[in-house]
């Protein structure tokens, strides 16, 4: 299957799709930042118990999977389809930058660094997500939709960079206790509690067969994830801290590079913007186990 990464800014207005040239992306980011500030200044909704209501759809309209160029007269759409070698060349600079920047990797103890590098450079074979294993927490990232009640919160997930089209959900009690008799699970055992205006989600008992991200960052059964959600008006800030005392020398806060929710604003780099309605344009195919060794070179160089 031929795919390419999007180099244009997609804006949905009134149900119409507009594709801006890549040169307009900088202006679009500036406009987006101004909108986030405006939305954050709006009144923050509350639950009956007085706590902030996090309910809402917190994802941007998904971008189309292929880069599309419209002709000058607007009558012709050209899909820029690249084959695997071209995609490999296009993806190499980003991968090399991530590989060279150790600050974007967890602070592994010295004896575990070599394993992480090996997994990172052979992810096209070793990634459990390629083999239809659930992505799990924290790799799922922030939820795309939230339904919030005083004593329970529901997180829904739509798609993702690691596996477009995937659907998942989490049901998290507020004020509950961790269950100590459960087997490990990809999404772990989550409980939530309030710290002022921030809802804190504490996650333990996460299946050690999952990865933290797409780049071979592994963990063991001692992984501990803390997610923090703070709503201001119609914006939601997502903060993530990851601990693994067996493997890490210190807690780790990932540096996000995704295009959907990681946009700068006065709320921080991980501000999410509420959107009206649901734009579900991704195909909901069942996961098909696949191996990319026939598509890209295994060492990702």
| Each residue's pLDDT tens digit, 99-149 | 888 888 999 999 999 999 999 999 888 899 888 888 999 999 888 889 999
> What CA–CA distance (Å, rounded) separates 276 from 273?
10
Q: Of 131, 125, 65, give the one whose Cα is nearest residue 288.
A: 131
Q: Where are the domains of the chain?
A: 9-294
Residue 178: predicted pLDDT: 96
Q: Of 210, 237, 182, give the one whose Cα is nearest residue 37.
A: 237
Read off the tokens for 121.
Answer: 């450079």
Residue 21: predicted pLDDT: 46
Percentage of residues of the chain with pLDDT beyond 90? 40
Residue 151: predicted pLDDT: 96
Residue 7: predicted pLDDT: 29
How does DSSP assign 28-86, residue by residue?
HHHHHHHHHHHHHTSPPPB-TTSSB---EE--PPPPPSSEEEE-TTS--EEEE---HHH
Residue 4: predicted pLDDT: 32
* pTM across the whole model: 0.75
Residue spans of the chain under pLDDT 70: 1-30, 59-68, 74-91, 159-166, 256-301
The terminus-to-terminus CA distance of the chain in angstroms comes to 21
> What CA–CA distance (Å, rounded) separates 96 from 168?
31
Residue 268: predicted pLDDT: 41
Residue 20: predicted pLDDT: 38
> What CA–CA distance (Å, rounded) separates 275 from 223?
33
């Amino acid at each position: 299957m031929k795919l390419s990464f999007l180099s244009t800014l997609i804006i949905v207005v009134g149900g119409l799709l507009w594709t801006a040239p890549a040169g307009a992306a900088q202006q679009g980011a500036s406009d987006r930042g101004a909108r986030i500030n405006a939305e954050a200044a709006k009144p923050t909704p509350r639950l009956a118990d007085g706590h902030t209501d996090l309910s809402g759809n917190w994802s941007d309209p998904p971008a189309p999977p292929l880069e599309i160029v419209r002709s000058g007269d607007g009558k012709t759409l050209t899909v820029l389809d690249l084959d695997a070698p071209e995609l490999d060349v296009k993806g190499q600079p980003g991968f090399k930058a991530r590989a060279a920047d150790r600050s974007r990797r967890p602070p592994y103890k010295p004896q575990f660094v070599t394993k992480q590098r090996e997994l990172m450079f052979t992810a096209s074979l070793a990634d459990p997500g390629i083999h239809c294993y659930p992505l799990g927490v924290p790799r799922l990232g922030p939820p795309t939709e939230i339904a919030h009640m005083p004593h329970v919160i529901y997180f829904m997930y739509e798609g993702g960079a690691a596996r477009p089209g995937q659907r998942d959900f989490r049901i998290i009690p507020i004020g509950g206790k961790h269950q100590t008799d459960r087997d490990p699970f990809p999404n772990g055992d989550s409980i939530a509690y309030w710290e002022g205006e921030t809802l804190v989600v504490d996650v333990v008992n996460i299946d050690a067969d999952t990865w933290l991200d797409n780049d071979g960052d592994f963990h063991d059964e001692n992984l501990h994830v803390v997610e923090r959600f703070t709503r201001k008006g119609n914006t939601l800030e997502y903060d993530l801290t990851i601990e693994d005392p067996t493997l890490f020398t210190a807690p780790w806060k990932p540096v996000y590079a995704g295009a959907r929710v990681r946009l700068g604003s006065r709320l921080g780099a991980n501000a999410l913007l509420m959107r009206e309605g649901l734009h579900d344009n991704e195909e909901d195919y069942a996961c098909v186990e696949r191996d990319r060794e026939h598509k890209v070179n295994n060492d990702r160089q």
